[in-house]
Amino acid sequence: MNLFIFNNLNNDDVVTSLLKFKSDGDEDAYYQAARKLISFSKHRLTDGNIIDEYILRLMLEQDNLPNPETIRDFLRQDIKTVYDNL
């Protein structure tokens, strides 16, 4: 994914597996991502979409997150890109 601020998402195993499944239909990649998401969800109290929560957690835990006021348009673009791709 072409991201401005949250480029670290491209290095995450779950994200890369989901993208591989989406682009190639690779079922092994899907199952790999599902196993990791299930493990992640065991420690959360959520009734929503676990993928959304997982991605949001990655975004919030990114080091050196810039001031959102100065990069608002880039943040919006990144969030749209993530939403469209995952």
Question: Does residue 61 belong to any structural domain of this protein?
Answer: yes
Question: Does residue 1 belong to any structural domain of this protein?
Answer: no
Give me the number of domains the chain comprises: 1
Domain that holds residue 18: 7-85
Confirm if 51 and 37 have CB atoms less than 8 A apart: yes
Signed CA dihedral, 32, 37, 15, 27: sign only:
positive
Confirm if 85 and 19 have CB atoms less than 8 A apart: yes
Prediction pTM value: 0.76
Question: Does residue 46 belong to any structural domain of this protein?
Answer: yes
Q: pLDDT by residue for the chain (86 residues), tens digit each?
A: 888 888 889 999 999 999 999 999 999 999 999 999 988 888 776 667 888 889 888 888 888 777 767 788 888 888 889 989 98
pLDDT in the model for residue 35:
95
Confirm if 2 and 75 have CB atoms less than 8 A apart: no
Which residues, including other chains, have CB under 8 Å from residue 29's CB and lie 6 or more apart?
Answer: 16, 17, 18, 20, 21
pLDDT in the model for residue 12:
95
In total, the chain counts a number of residues equal to 86
